[in-house]
Amino acid sequence: EHLVKAGADNIHLAGSGPTLFTLLKDKTQAEELYSRLKQQRLEVYLTDTLAIID
């Protein structure tokens, strides 16, 4: 509910635990979502994906 209200379009459950995540293409959008969730005093992490180049 917090993610939807903060602007996340797609929300996923990690495993069977209480961890939810969303993926965003735009870093600015991710930073804004992160800020809105932190203002709600939630435990939030902002990460980047890694690409493997052969």
pLDDT tens by residue, 5-48? 888 888 888 887 788 898 888 899 999 999 999 999 999 999 99
- Is pLDDT at 1 greater than 90 in this prediction? no
CA dist., res. 32 & res. 5, Å (int): 13
Cα dihedral value 29, 34, 37, 42, nearest 10: 160
Q: What is the pLDDT of residue 45?
A: 94
User: Cβ(33)–Cβ(6) under 8 Å?
Assistant: yes
pLDDT score of 50 = 87
pTM for the whole structure: 0.75
44 and 37 Cβ atoms separated by less than 8 Å: yes
